[in-house]
């Protein structure tokens, strides 16, 4: 599935799938699920579970390639609305991803892509590959 990455404020991005024609025009970048290099599955969610004393752990993050820069599309629990925000981290390393998992940043789930994959998919969209 094609995922659009949108700038919602100066330097702050979110992501969406199920893109309509307007979304395709407004998105700054694109990634595709088929090109994901990893996923961090949520084991427990603040939407449904008591997260008191729950500690999220590394899954397959150690298998990510060293020397790459990554784009991470992740969910973050938002207490005020009691929902999930869809956020993006750009240009982070494998070690930063590991640190973010250990710091519980990706506890609600995350998808990993390389920066190169993002730029390639964005180029494909600009060339009309995903036009229906």
Q: Terminal CA-to-CA distance of the chain, rounded, Å? A: 14
pLDDT at 55: 85
11: number of Cβ within 10 Å: 7
Confidence of residue 27 (pLDDT cuts 50, 70, 90): very high
Instruction: For 33-79, write each residue's pLDDT tens digit.
Output: 999 999 999 888 887 777 788 888 999 999 999 999 999 999 999 87
Residue of 60, 112, 122 lying closest to 89 (CA atoms): 112
In the chain, % of residues over pLDDT 70: 99
Distance between CA atoms of residues 102 and 95, nearest Å: 11
pLDDT of residue 78: 86
Domains of the chain, by residue range, sit at 2-126
Q: What's the confidence (pLDDT) of residue 107? A: 93
pLDDT digit string, tens, across residues 91-125 = 999 999 999 999 999 999 999 999 999 999 999 99
The CA distance from 106 to 97, in Å, is: 9
Helix (H) or strand (E) holding 121: helix 115-126
């Amino acid at each position: 599935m094609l995922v659009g990455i949108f700038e919602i404020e100066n330097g702050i991005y979110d992501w969406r799938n199920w893109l309509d024609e307007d979304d395709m025009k407004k998105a700054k970048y694109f990634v595709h699920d088929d090109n994901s290099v990893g996923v961090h599955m949520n084991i427990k969610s603040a939407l449904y579970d008591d997260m008191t004393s729950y500690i999220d752990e590394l899954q397959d993050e150690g298998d990510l390639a060293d020397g790459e820069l990554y784009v991470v599309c992740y969910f973050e629990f938002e207490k005020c609305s009691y929902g999930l925000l869809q956020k993006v981290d750009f240009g982070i390393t494998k070690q930063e991803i590991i640190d973010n998992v250990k710091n519980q940043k990706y506890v609600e789930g995350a998808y990993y892509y390389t920066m190169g994959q993002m730029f390639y998919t964005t180029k494909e969209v600009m060339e009309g590959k995903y036009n229906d």
